[in-house]
Amino acid sequence: MNRKAIPARATHRIATDASVIFERHVRAEGLKSSQVRLGLVRAIAAMAGHFTAEMLQARLMRRGSVSKATLYRTLAMMQDCKLLVSHDFGGGALYFESALNQPHHDHMYCLGCGAISEFTSRGIEALQARIAAEAEFELTAHSHKLYGYCAPCARRAHKRTSEVEPGRRSG
Amino acid sequence: MNRKAIPARATHRIATDASVIFERHVRAEGLKSSQVRLGLVRAIAAMAGHFTAEMLQARLMRRGSVSKATLYRTLAMMQDCKLLVSHDFGGGALYFESALNQPHHDHMYCLGCGAISEFTSRGIEALQARIAAEAEFELTAHSHKLYGYCAPCARRAHKRTSEVEPGRRSG
DNA sequence: ATTTTTGCAAATGATTTGCATTCTT
DNA sequence: AAGAATGCAAATCATTTGCAAAAAT
């Protein structure tokens, strides 16, 4: 379920759809539009997979540079209008992911190589809803992450004899 | 399922059990024991519920003060020897929780009042394991958090007409 | 004696913010 | 013009770390 190698045609469409939604949000909030930000929005929306602000800035650096301030401000706005979603895997920096037409899913994070993959489970979602209902807890969001080793990393680890267990990890 | 009001007898026993485990760990690592740290370990292990480093320091302040440095270092060691577990609910500070004789569980976090409650689900754990297995992902840990409003906060919210939706929240 | 622990202050690092300048409307 | 957006540098803030002094072996 890893998204990769999005064809050029598709990224253009995604970028355009995102900019429409973004501009609608800007108008609704009584803000102003700007070239810099629109370019950023298009680029970010078209990003494949999961990325940090730093990774994003590195990639954007190819063309004109963008200040961290504007980058973070745009990232925040895109989250406000649901174009973007962020995930905290405990490494210090947040990971972002385009949310345009991306149905909800949860993640597996490889402690060996940092690879992030996705999963969904109707069953888990249902059990979760039931648990919340029984506790009279009004569920508005959830975060479910699996940590461990992806297949290649696990194989690599099994070859060596001594393997260090992953230490403390904030759940 | 909220742990509260632990009787004095019980806290003493917990503190003692924790100090034994902690001292074993210290010896195993070739470190030295210390009064300051042992006092901290006993106090922390006996803490009920979920608390941040700041909350902890505030409570410990009643008796002699402890430096943040030592506090964090002890917190880290206690996690190393599984006396303590930490959780990140996205508020900036980590929450800690004594793990002595505390079976695994996941959490619900109230966006209204910050209350933290616990839940467990055999069903979810099983589905989780199956998902990992199918992806050939070697599962070593997981984090599952539900965000929303506890019963009192939900009632309070429904009384008012306009309720602000929780904004971006890193999952 | 030697090695570790402690506390203070300074460092870290991702993210945020103040403010003067530059866009948009 | 009037209000926002931008970039830079400075500020945040929880957590870490360097180092000299104090404690444990």
The model's pLDDT over A11-59, given as tens digits with 9 standing for 90+, comes to 899 999 999 999 999 999 999 999 999 999 999 999 999 999 999 999 9
pLDDT > 70 fraction of chain B, expressed in percent and rounded: 90
What is the Cα–Cα distance from A23 to A26, expressed in whole angstroms?
5
pLDDT grade for B10, boundaries at 50, 70 and 90: confident
CA torsion B31-B35-B37-B43 (nearest 10°) is: 140
Taking the model in full, what pTM does it have? 0.90
Q: What is the third-level CATH fold of B103-171?
A: Dna Ligase; domain 1 (3.30.1490)
Largest CA distance in chain B: 61
- Distance C6 C1' – B151 CA (angstroms): 45
Q: How far is the CA of A154 from the C1' of C4 (A)?
A: 37
Distance CA B18, CA B130 (A): 34
> What is the signed CA dihedral for A74, A78, A84, A88, rounded to 10 degrees?
50
Please, which pLDDT band fits residue A138 given cuts at 50, 70 and 90?
Answer: very high
Distance, in Å, from the CA atom of B85 to the CA atom of B99, rounded to the nearest integer, reads 6
Tokens (6 digits) for A157? 């680890």
Please count the other Cβ atoms lying within 10 Å of the Cβ belonging to residue B126: 13
A122, burial (CB in 10 Å: exposed 0-12, middle 13-18, buried 19+): exposed
Find tokens 């973070």 and name the residue: A72
> Looking at CA atoms only, how far is residue B151 from chain A in angstroms?
5
pLDDT > 90: percent of chain B: 81
- The domain ranges of chain B are 1-99, 103-171
Which residues of chain B have a CB within 8 Å of the CB of A121? Answer: 127-128, 131
A95: enclosing H helix or E strand = strand A95-98
Reported as type and span, the H/E element at residue B39 is helix B35-45
CB contact, 8 Å: B108 with chain A? yes
Which residues does nucleic strand C approach, with CB less than 7 A? A 32-36, 52-54, 68-69, 72-73, 75-76, 92-94; B 26, 30-32, 34, 36-37, 40, 65-70, 73-74
Q: Does B92 contact A at CB distance below 8 Å?
A: no
- CATH no., domain A1-99: 1.10.10.10
Q: Is residue A34's beta carbon less than 7 angstroms from any atom in nucleic acid strand D?
A: yes
Interatomic CA–C1' length for residue B161 and nucleotide D1, angstroms = 39
